Amino acid sequence: MATPLKDTVTPADTLDRLDIRLGRVLSAEPAPGTPKPAYRLSVDFGRYGVRTSVGRFTGHTPEELIGTQVLGVLNFEPRPVGDAVSDVLILGVQFTGAPSGDATPLIPAREAKLGSKVF
C-alpha cells in the first residue's frame, strides 16, 4: 500500500532552499561501523569540491558506482554514520526487491557538468 502524499508546499519553502548538485563518484568502499551494510563514497562536485557520503547503495558493486554521475544535497549538516562523517546526501530510490532503505542513486539521463544545480 502506498504511503499518503505529504502536504503541498511552495518551491520557495523547499526546493529553492536545497542546494542539489551533480557529482561523480570517485571511489566506493564498504563503510565500517554502520548499522546496516553501506558504502563510503567520495564524490567530486567540481568547483564545490570532493565530498564524502555514506549510503546504502550496496545493490551495486563499487565498480558499478565509480564514475557514475549522481545528485547530492550539499547544504545538509554533516552527520556521523558508522565510523565516517557523511557531508553530502546522495539522492536515491529503493529498487524493486531490495530491503527497505537499500537504494540505487538517481542519475542524469546524459552526462552534464559537475557542480550543475538541480532546478
Summarised one tens digit per residue, pLDDT across range 67-117 is 999 999 999 999 999 999 999 999 999 888 877 778 999 999 999 999 999
Query: Minimal CA–CA distance to 91: which of 3, 7, 25?
Result: 25
pLDDT band, very low/low/confident/very high, at 13 (cuts 50, 70, 90): confident
Average pLDDT score, the chain: 93
Integer Cα distance of 34 and 57 in angstroms: 13
The pLDDT assigned to 119 comes to 86
Lowest mean pLDDT among 10-14, 44-48, 109-113: 10-14
Q: What is the pLDDT of residue 17?
A: 93
DSSP string, 30-76: EPTT-SS--EEEEEE-GGG-EEEEEE--TTS-HHHHTT-EEEEE-SS
Output the nine-digit C-alpha cell for 99.
530491503
Instruction: Determine the topology of domain 17-108 in CATH.
Output: OB fold (Dihydrolipoamide Acetyltransferase, E2P) (2.40.50)
Q: Kindly compute the dihedral angle of the four CA atoms of residues 106, 31, 23, 58, in this order, to the nearest 10 degrees.
A: -30
- Cβ neighbors of 13 (< 8 A, separation 6 or more) are none
For residue 1, the model assigns a pLDDT of: 63
Domains of the chain by residue range = 17-108
